[in-house]
A and B are shown apart, each in its own frame.
Chain A
Amino acid sequence: MLTLLGDTLSSIAVLFLVSSGLAVIFGVLRIINFAHGDFVMVGAFASVISQEWGLGFALSIVFAMVVVAGLSVGLQALGLARTGLDMTVGLLVTWAYGTLIRSMVAAIFGPQARFADQPFPGRVTALGGTIPYYVLFVFAAALVVAAVLFVVFVKTDFGRRLRATVCDRQMAAGVGINTGGVTFGALAAAGALAGLAGALIAPMVSVNAYMGFAYIVRAFLVVVLGGLGSVVGAGGGAVVIGGAETLVSRAMSALLAQVVIFLFVAAALVFRARLERN
């Protein structure tokens, strides 16, 4: 029972971390970043590699965040903005960037899986189940990230400018907001979020160049469910998708879990559309 709770918590936390970055990028650029799963993968690699260099756990997280933030901003400089508002082209180009990142990581670091150090060994045992301390840590970290994002969005000057840019880019530029700077900051933030997600995931999984795809598909589901560009929606979507997937796959089968989630998202979309129309 407790084991199930632990799995659910970690699944929700990871999904939230991955999809919040996706939501931020969509908000400012109106682009679905298909490379986001590979951003997460690079974050995981960066943390594992830096630990192999002798960096501690906390520093390896910082390192991963910086690396992926750089990557995110760098790809923007390489022309993500150039695709403008065409969503389909944006999807394709970011997907190709993801493939490029993936193949380069595979070429440099080899195809074999790597494993990060376990920062908090040990586990809580109660009620006939166990939760590793690390899972609790990841969940707490996700809550902290959610709180920080909330404060940044609502209270800070940057957050206000960001929300104005997301709402109406031209209008925001018209009232003197430096939308280019805001975009830059948002991309760096989204990259840092992906790096953080990757670094936090790394101790729980085997890290390899092809790990991103599983995350991006579920993160897409989350943003489709939660509404594009909405970080609050990403939180809600993560709870629903992560929770439902873990529960159904443990109680029944992994295949059924996929089917249930899919039907759930389809039903939610139709229902929401009807709600909006009324």
Chain B
Amino acid sequence: MLRLLQGRGPRGAAGLGATAVFAIPLFTANLHTRLFANILILGVLSMSLYITWTLGGVLSLGQAAFFGLGAYSAAISTVRLDGALWGVGLPLAAIAVSAVLAILIWAVAATTKLSEFTFAMITLIVVVLAQVLVNSSGPFGGGTSGIAGIPSLSIFGMRGAQVAYVLALAVSVVAILVVRTLERSALGVVLTAMSGNETRARVCGYRVDVYKGVAFAVGAMLATFAGYLYARQNGLVTPSLVGFDMSAAVIIWLVIGGRWSLFGPFLGVFLVRMFQFLLAEAAPETYAAITAVAFIAMIWFFPGGAAAGLRRAWDAVSTRTKPKVKAAVS
């Protein structure tokens, strides 16, 4: 308690600093503002995997299928269909479909031995299937070229890169707060107990399978919502949003950012996207190879990812400013 109070100084400064940092994209060129807005929305997508994998304890290889479902619901409801009813109804229906699909997938996987493996495989197949479906969807679904001309969301009639960024930032903050609340709720406590020792949680009478399914369904719904926002923000959906490559990217972001921290999902997207931005000139193979090596290194040597590294640095700084407290405690 004492340490917490003493830590107020650097904490307050960090809060101010963070606010300033997050205001920067409002004043950059539109291109960069959009880049940061995208990073935030993709961070929300990673957050959906955080819910499924970190909280639920099952690795989904199919987040892109739900993301794509949301993105295509945005495209079809605005470009292909007319009317406010479709505009709101279809995305909501997409989110509901995601939840049902997620529960079905988990229900099949949970019946088997080695359910985690079966789950990974089924989600992999779903995402491959989703890609085939989108690619062969014909003129209505845009086929291989996708659907362009999706109108952006507006706040009080205002549109543009800055509006998109503010919206993305707001959604990200809400997502973090909601997941934080979820973690601290009764459900979150059970999920934490499960990830600590699954057998013990089961022996204590918790229906582990049901909780995992719920976590997966919540993650799927969030991924769908992120897909909807992403499409509205970029005005374009293509089959590359669906498919295994996208799912793999989500896993990479979360592992690199740190899958034990709420900020990890966002940090991961930020780091990978910035790296991609710097390497824009290099061949895609070089980029893929470096990412793969970084990914393996992260898994082996820094399972906590960048967020854990930052955390350690932060602890080092905040204790160094108060050496006496540290001495008193130890």
Question: Measuring CB to CB, which residues of chain A are less than 8 angstroms from any residue of chain B?
Answer: 32, 79, 82, 87-89, 91-93, 95-97, 99-100, 102-104, 106-107, 213, 217, 220-221, 224, 228, 253-255, 258-259, 262, 265-266, 269-270, 272-274, 276
Contacts and interface: CB of A to CB of B under 8 A. Distances in A.
Contacts of A221: 121, 125
Contacts of A228: 114, 117
A259 B129 CA distance: 7
Interface stretch (B31-39, B64-72, B204-212, B287-295): B287-295
A42 B59 CA distance: 28
A220 B121 contact: yes
A107 B285 contact: yes
Most buried by B among A87, A104, A221, A224: A224
A258 B136 CA distance: 12
A255 B288 CA distance: 29
A89 B255 CA distance: 11
A273 B111 contact: yes
A87 B292 CA distance: 19
28 contacts: A32-B120, A91-B59, A96-B296, A99-B248, A99-B288, A99-B289, A99-B292, A100-B292, A103-B284, A103-B285, A103-B292, A107-B283, A213-B244, A217-B124, A220-B124, A221-B121, A228-B114, A228-B117, A255-B133, A262-B125, A262-B126, A262-B129, A265-B125, A266-B108, A266-B122, A269-B108, A269-B109, A274-B111
Interface string B166-202: 0000000000000000000000000000000000000
A221 B125 CA distance: 8
Given A93-B299, A96-B292, A262-B129, A87 B114 contact: yes
A193 B25 CA distance: 53
Interface residues of B, number: 38
A34 to B, nearest CB: 9
Contacts of B140: none
A79 B300 contact: yes
Contact of A87 (B111, B116, B126, B284): B116
Residue among B109, B286, B289, B293 with max Cβ neighbours from chain A (10 Å): B289
Q: B125, B129, B300 — which one has the most chain A CB atoms within 10 A of its CB?
A: B125
Contacts of B248: 95, 99
Chain B interface main SS type: helix
A258 B118 contact: no
Given A104-B285, A220-B125, 11 more contacts: A79-B300, A87-B117, A92-B251, A96-B296, A99-B289, A102-B288, A220-B124, A262-B126, A265-B125, A269-B112, A273-B112
Contacts of A262: 125-126, 129
A93 B295 CA distance: 8
A196 B321 CA distance: 63
Instruction: Please name the 9 residue pairs, one residue from A and one from B, whose CB atoms are nearest each other, closest first.
Output: A273-B111, A103-B288, A99-B292, A103-B289, A100-B292, A103-B285, A107-B285, A106-B285, A96-B292
Nearest to A262: B125
A230 to B, nearest CB: 13
Contacts of B244: 213
B132 interface: yes
Nearest to B107: A270
B255 A92 contact: yes
B59 A88 contact: yes
Nearest to A257: B132
Contact of B296 (A93, A213, A258): A93
Contacts of B286: 103, 107
Nearest to A89: B299
A31 B109 CA distance: 18
Contacts of B128: 217, 258
Nearest to B255: A92
A228 B124 CA distance: 17
Nearest to B131: A258
B111 to A, nearest CB: 4
A97 B292 contact: yes
B120 A91 contact: yes
A269 B283 contact: no
Interface string B245-262: 000100100010000000
Contacts of B59: 88, 91-92
B117 to A, nearest CB: 6
A88 B117 CA distance: 8
Contact of A88 (B108, B113, B116, B291): B116
Contacts of A104: 285, 289
B101 to A, nearest CB: 12
Nearest to B58: A88
Contacts of B293: 96, 100
A100 B129 CA distance: 25
A62 to B, nearest CB: 29
A87 B115 CA distance: 11
A87 B117 CA distance: 7
A89 B133 CA distance: 30
Nearest to A273: B111
B306 to A, nearest CB: 17
A67 B121 CA distance: 28
Contacts of A92: 59, 251, 255, 295, 299
Contacts of B114: 87, 228
